[in-house]
Structure 1
């Protein structure tokens, strides 16, 4: 059995210690917009948790429906696909009507466990149904653990995380894919070249 991560307050304390020690910008390391995109929790809620406030009480059903809707909206924005086409594909994947798929994606209806599992697969969520059901503090803590591991020198995706912190990149999404350190370095070099070229043109 894997060891449970420390609670959010402890994670934040360790992060703040690393940020101070390495003289980093807390707002860049703990970017609320990027974190919101990763865990489908509203920025205002993430900001409150980062400031040490107690988690807002919510019902599991509301949490699940809200995260499905947030994922769907982000997917539409990122992919540029039409809502009708996405609803049609989701309906086929889940074996339901397009009308019901639209209601699920818009957060109007609560998906059952099999449908939620297939939605996680559709959106390439490697945490499965936990992504939708975990309380905001737990979801945020999980996301911050990777950042903490990198700052303390133990994450597998170090090169990409360093790059995103350095450049404030918030739209880089690998959708659950894992890259080897060598591939990450190659991707970082390519992105550095692109960003460097843009700065030179200004």
Structure 2
């Protein structure tokens, strides 16, 4: 497994390469506010990491507290008000006072794994590691849908690969190693066929 920073750097490199193809900029597709909303990583930290800077990771307990506050601030009741600690805790048989103590730093230890899982299930429907995920891997994971979308927008072969999980998919993957001249011919042909397929499907 690659180190987290190496994985993020590679993701950003791939994003940049696709942006060059599409004639767009990072500012047009990488929304720091949205990425912060998805990950719980503060906007300035998101911006710094996307910019290639090293940012000190929060201490584990601080990270948990920050993420709980983030969830209460960004995932609210239908009427727009925040969920109380009592509501959250009641969903997995914990007291609101216990959760409040964790968030306010009065608890002598960080939350147990069961408490973390309970909070995540309350907000996401399942335990997903949101509260404890370090900033770099959390951001890298949030960038994967962006990367996939760019690949589909700029590479007809990516769309074709997603359709086929058989010998056709193997052949298409091998085609990516063709010399550039032949690849350009195949790429143009695939693009024309996919556009034709869309037109026929719309009839």
Deviations 1:75-115 (A, max 9, x none): 238751255xx323212113222222333456765321101
**C-alpha distance in structure 1 between counterparts of 2:24 and 2:72, whole Å:** 33
Partner of 1:28: 28
- Please state how far the C-alpha of 1:127 moved relative to its aligned partner: 5.9
Q: What SS does the corresponding residue of 2:58 show, helix, strand or coil?
A: coil
SS in structure 1 opposite 2:91? helix
1:133 and 2:119 aligned: no
Corresponding residue number in structure 2 for 1:98? 96
Q: Distance in 1 between matches of 2:127 and 2:28?
A: 25
Correspondence for 1:64:
64
The reply on whether 1:144 has 2:106 as its aligned counterpart is no
SS in 2 for 1:76: coil
Asked if the contact 1:36/1:46 (under 8 Å) is kept, the reply is: yes
Change beyond 3 A, Cα 1:65–1:47: same
What is the TM-score with the length of structure 2 in the denominator? 0.64
Shift of 1:61: 1.7
Give the total of aligned pairs. Answer: 151
Following the alignment from structure 1 to structure 2, what is the Cα–Cα distance between the partners of residues 82 and 134?
23
Distance 1:108 1:20, change over 3 A: farther
Which has the higher Rg, Structure 1 or Structure 2?
Answer: 2
| Structure 1 spans left out of the alignment, 5+ residues | 156-202
Q: Normalising by structure 1, what TM-score?
A: 0.65
Residues 69 and 106, structure 1, Cα contact 8 Å, conserved in 2: no
Q: Cα gap change, 1:107/1:43 in structure 2, threshold over 3 Å: closer, same or farther?
A: farther
Judging changes above 3 Å, is the alpha-carbon distance between structure 1 residues 152 and 53 closer, same or farther for their aligned structure 2 residues? same
Kindly indicate whether the alpha-carbon contact (under 8 Å) linking 2:14 and 2:147 is maintained by their aligned counterparts in 1. yes
Kept after mapping to 2: 8 A contact 1:33/1:43: yes
- Shift in alpha-carbon separation, 1:3–1:55, aligned structure 2, 3 A: closer
Structure 2 CA distance for aligned equivalents of residues 76 and 52 of structure 1? 32
Q: What residue number does 2:112 align with?
A: 112
